[in-house]
Amino acid sequence: MKRTSRLLFRIFLPLALLMVVVATLFLVKGRTRVVSSEPCLVEPTESPVCDSGSVDDSAVLRALRWLKKHQHSSGCWTGGWSESGPGSDMDVAAGMTGLALLPFLAYGQTTESPEFGDTVANALSWLVENQLEGGGWNRKYQHAIATFAMAEAYALMRIPPLRPTVERGLDIIIAGQNSQGGWRYELAPSEPSSASASAWCCLALKAGQMAGLDRPGMEDAMRQAVEGWKTLFNESAGTGTFQYMVGNDAYPGLTGSGVYSLQLLGAANLPETRAAVRYLVERRSGFDWENARWQDVYYWYFDTEALYHEGGTIWREWSRAFSREIYAAQRVIPFGLADTEGRMASIGYWCKKNHRVMDTALCTLMLVWRRTLPVFDRESAPELLESEPRDEADRTVDIIIEL
């Protein structure tokens, strides 16, 4: 009898365990799926969004760890720009490296940070070493993004070797401004203005100013940039958009880039800026990750920065709406990377049309709205403009960037 009982126990116990596993799988159905060639990804069922609209740090940390894992050993990031897929296209390395570096800086990570210090240091080293003799970085469209990131890094850390690199980058932007006050891809004065290129140039100039760098012609370039945005403005029915180029309003999604640029340039109260803000507010309800086009992530980044600087109820409502969508859309990979204590931590990324590096960087910047960097901080920016630059001689750097 005892032998029979033991036999039945050995048979039914595995069956009972199997039934528990099956039941568990049914309960989590819809929460787990395989995306692309990545491992099985678990998405959160709800986002910890506070009343203020902020999201906890878990999504940000997952994204920073994903970027850390996918940084090349040389220190750069590639791919994630064109529709062809991630790849290893070095033509976009400067832009992707600058873009991927920005979330680390915005989260307050420096070369001395325990978990991400090497990631930041390696990215900075790559950008310094790969700046061309004339001061540019490969494709000129990427130049402004790389200069922006380097200026923010210099403002945050005051590492002396970064200063000449930033100054050379700013000089090219200043020299490349056209007579209307804008820029286009090749940063040649003969080119007509485009909203996208002009926005990154404005961000780079503002970051340079906030870092205490006063390059010849920089203030004039920033004043002229305000006029350049006016030429791209297209008024319509009490609101307005900023055109991609004069006479080409096929990309009204770039309106946020114009608003954000004008805010940084001290022109937040211009009629054109106010009308464009009304346009952004009216289309807030259209935030829909699942049905978005790949370029919408790029547009949303500028919208988020613009509405953050606008502040008040407009920002709180926008933050609450987009943060839930962005948090739920993150692709989470469990046990993807070891943390500082050697424990395996989750990593996560965002992706529309294979733009993993770009989308992850932009979405992380959108979530890190409590900015560390001067350009991102709507409250500290005026104070920094009036303050004296810190003395570089007083800055001790433990991690040396080799030139």
Among 45-59, 123-137, 215-229, the range of highest mean pLDDT:
215-229
Which residue has better confidence, 79 or 60? 60
Nearest one of 245, 318, 244 to 281, comparing CA atoms: 318
Distance CA 331, CA 11 (A): 39
The pLDDT value recorded for residue 16 is 52
Q: Which domains does the chain have, with CATH numbers?
A: 56-381 (1.50.10.20)
Q: What confidence tens digit (pLDDT) does each residue in 122-162 have?
A: 999 999 999 998 888 877 779 999 999 999 999 999 999 99
Q: Is residue 274's pLDDT more than 50?
A: yes
Distance CA 113, CA 38 (A): 29
The pLDDT value recorded for residue 216 is 97
Provide the pLDDT confidence category of residue 371 given band limits of 50, 70 and 90: low
Share of the chain above pLDDT 70, in %: 73
Mind giving me the DSSP string for 172-223?
Answer: HHHHT--TTS---TT--TTSPP-HHHHHHHHHHHHHHHHTT---TTHHHHHH
For residues 45 and 53, the answer to whether their CB atoms sit within 8 Å is no
Q: Is residue 286's pLDDT more than 70?
A: no
Distance CA 103, CA 359 (A): 12
Mean of per-residue pLDDT scores for the chain: 79
The pLDDT value recorded for residue 365 is 95
